[in-house]
A and B are shown apart, each in its own frame.
Chain A
Amino acid sequence: MIKRLRGMFSNDLSIDLGTANTLIYVRDRGIVLDEPSVVAIRQHNGQKIVEAVGVEAKRMLGRTPGNITAIRPLKDGVIADFQVTEKMLQHFIKKVHEAAWFQPSPRVLVCVPCLSTEVEKRAIRESALGAGAREVRLIEEPMAAAIGAGLNVSEATGSMVVDIGGGTTEIAIISLNGVVYSDSVRVGGDRFDEAIVNYVRRNYGSVIGEATAERIKQEIGCAFAGSETREIDVRGRNLAEGVPRSFTLNSDEILEALQEPLAGIVQGVKSALEQSPPELASDIAESGIVLTGGGALLRDIERLIAEETGLPVIVAEDPLTCVARGGGKAMEMMDGRSIDLLSS
């Protein structure tokens, strides 16, 4: 009863609980929160105290003293640390309701990877409830991504969405408000970063942090040869000498570094096309594939997939927020017409 009353003063939230970033969309207000899914925890007399969450905690990543650990509670799109995820969600939900008088108790729609198990779904549901949600609904990520990208999911036309997130790449074929085929490849932005770190260690004998690798990827990373070559200056610790050294990387090298994870994504897309029913495959061939998620921001990734598949590939507008926005729209659709878009 009290929860319901409190709910009247809270908003409906759509949460994209991602490996790399958590986004919250509120109806009529748009994206209200976009922060890294990182929590810094201080060990104090055997007790765990949350030191910082989000942007602040990310700044601590890899720079913490012994008693503080900055961790990412989600791995490969699913919850790896239940308690910390709950704390993080609690913090974010409170942050969204900063001006509220009461403790918020919103209805929450959370996007889950399409191949997540019942246990993983339950973990997400429980941690959202533990964070103060009144009601939790789950939606499959590619569905939300498709709605957020502006695809007409209710039509009897097949459309293919590739959502390249931080931990996973979700590939799905959608028709008539349902997921016809879906696959989840455990390759995403994190694997790109890892590949860059490994490449630099192998070829320059230097170690760079994940944050540096991410910066390299964002600034000069590209997925397809033939576009202009860019360069970046990087500092890393030289393994042989043990002192920090500066060196220059160019986009061709990064392309080489990213070959393996990119091949994983392309392979996933191809096998999805192979598995799709012929009618839907012809629809997809005619209109094309839509890319969403942070990975879609990698330069020329659409050209790579277009080249490999021979289909038109389109990057959705504002791909980072597609899932969260789509979740919000899905909620409205469900309220309005009681369409079942839920995964469970």
Chain B
Amino acid sequence: MSEIEGKDDAEVAVAKSPPGSRLRLAREKADLSLDNVAAELRITKRYVQALEGDDFDALPSGVFIVGYLKAYARLLAIPVEEVVDTYHEYTAQLNGDGVKVKTVKVKAIKENNSGEDDLLLLSTSSKKPLKKGWFGWLIAVVLVFAIVVMFQDDTDSRMTSEGQVNLGSVADISEQEAPPLPDSDAVSDEISADGAAVDEEQEPAPASDEAVSSQIVVVELPAKTENPPLDSIAFNFSKECWLEVIDAQGDVLNSDLYQPGESKVLQGYAPFEVLLGNVKAVSLALNEQAVDLPANLGGQKVRLRVSAAGEIIVLEEQVAH
């Protein structure tokens, strides 16, 4: 009972002071010696004295001090939280002053900080996210700018290529009146001026093939006016034949079966990879010029590569059984 009364007295007496004096008063009320306490808490007498004298520098780091205080308060049956709280308040005050001096030294950011508990925490944590966020935003802005610039470049180039198309179509209109030879040159000149990925090795069409090419041109023209940089490849079938064409970009242009008398014109980028199911039944023309298939093909099913210059490389040959 006397212990509890003593506790109340002590509480009134040392309301805001560090916990040491309160512990000492309580210990004296409980009639315990320093040695008794040291033995109970299993710490040295020196530490008990340091606790009572608020000499926290003589003690190990903070976690131990709190632990000792808790154990001591429990031993003396005084409220543990209150003791720990007063200790925290006391150290915060000490640290607060110290930090205040520091921050003032570094930069006079906040002058009216009246020794806040966690001034250190406040000042550092308010700085860091700001810096990080600012950096993030900077990058975001730069990215958006880069995308806008790229997009503009893109639209510019698209506009010039459209202009090209118009020119090409104008030239094609004139083609119907004029002979096809100089005109195809004009188109290829246009293309090479543009610098696009188009071959410039288009040979002038030999006059002897005019009959064949004119037949093809009728089918081909509308498509060609749309896509001037494309190469065209045409097939005529005299027997039933399977045809598969892959262009330089890997696009499968065609994969189908054709009947005798049919013809097929395809647009794409040379060189073409052509698979013919019946090579003997096909006549081939590249960019309106007839291309002779090698006569010495023994097989029926043949895989060819047709280059932009009209050269033919046999990749695979298979004799049908």
| Chain A complexes with chain B | yes
Chain A interface (Cβ < 8 Å from any Cβ of B):
5, 8-9, 27-28, 149-152, 157, 286-288, 290, 306, 310-317
A317-B42 contact given A28-B125, A28-B129, CB 8 Å threshold: no
Check B68 against A312 for contact (C-beta < 8 Å). Answer: yes
State whether A312 touches B128 (Cβ < 8 A).
Answer: no
Contacting pair A316 B42 (CB below 8 A): no
Counting chain B CB atoms within 10 Å of each CB, the highest count among A150, A314, A317 belongs to A314
Give bound CA distance, A317 to B42, whole Å: 20
Q: Flag if B68 contacts A152 (CB, 8 Å).
A: no
Using CB atoms, name the residue of chain A closest to B84.
A317
Q: Label chain A's interface by main secondary structure.
A: loop
Known contacts A312-B71, A315-B67; A151/B61 CB under 8 A: yes
Q: Do the beta carbons of B66 and A317 come within 8 Å of each other?
A: yes
In the complex, what residue of chain A is closest to B65 when comparing beta carbons? A314
Residue from B64, B71, B125, B128 with most neighbouring chain A CB atoms (10 Å):
B64
CB distance from B142 to the nearest CB of A (A): 11
B117 to chain A, nearest CB (A): 15
When the two chains form the complex, which single residue of B66, B71, B135 contacts A8, counting CB atoms closer than 8 Å? B135
Q: Given A312-B71, A314-B66 in contact, is the A9-B61 Cβ separation under 8 Å?
A: no
> Which one of B67, B125, B135 contacts A288 once the chains associate, using CB atoms below 8 Å?
B67
Given contacts A8-B136, A8-B139, A314-B68, contact A149 B42 (CB under 8 A): no
Question: Which chain B residues in 49-78 approach chain A with CB under 8 Å?
Answer: 60-64, 66-68, 70-71
Check A310 against B63 for contact (C-beta < 8 Å): no
Q: Indicate with 1 or 0, residue by residue over B28-56, a CB within 8 angstroms of chain A CB atoms.
A: 00000000000001111000000000000
Report the 5 A-B pairs with minimum CB-CB distance, sorted nearest first: A314-B67, A287-B60, A150-B63, A152-B61, A312-B42
Q: Are A312 and B61 in contact (CB-based, < 8 A)?
A: no
- Does the CB pair B43–A312 fall under 8 Å? yes
CB-defined A-B contacts under 8 Å, sample of 5: A8-B135, A290-B67, A312-B67, A314-B68, A317-B63
Are A28 and B128 in touch, CB under 8 angstroms? yes
Q: How far is the CA of A182 from the CA of B61 in the complex (A)?
A: 21
Q: How far is the CB of B168 from chain A (nearest CB, A)?
A: 40
Tell me whether B63 and A151 are in contact (CB under 8 A): yes
Contacts of A27 in B (CB 8 A): 128
A316 proximity list for chain B (CB < 8 A): 63
User: How distant is B307 from chain A, measured CB to nearest CB, in Å?
Assistant: 38
In angstroms, Cα B64 to Cα A316, docked, is 8
* Alpha-carbon distance between A66 and B245 when the two chains are bound, in angstroms: 55
- Known A28-B125, A28-B128; judge A290-B63 contact (CB<8 A): yes
- Select from chain A the residue with minimum beta-carbon distance to B60: A287
Q: Which residues of A contact B43 (CB under 8 A)?
A: 286, 288, 312
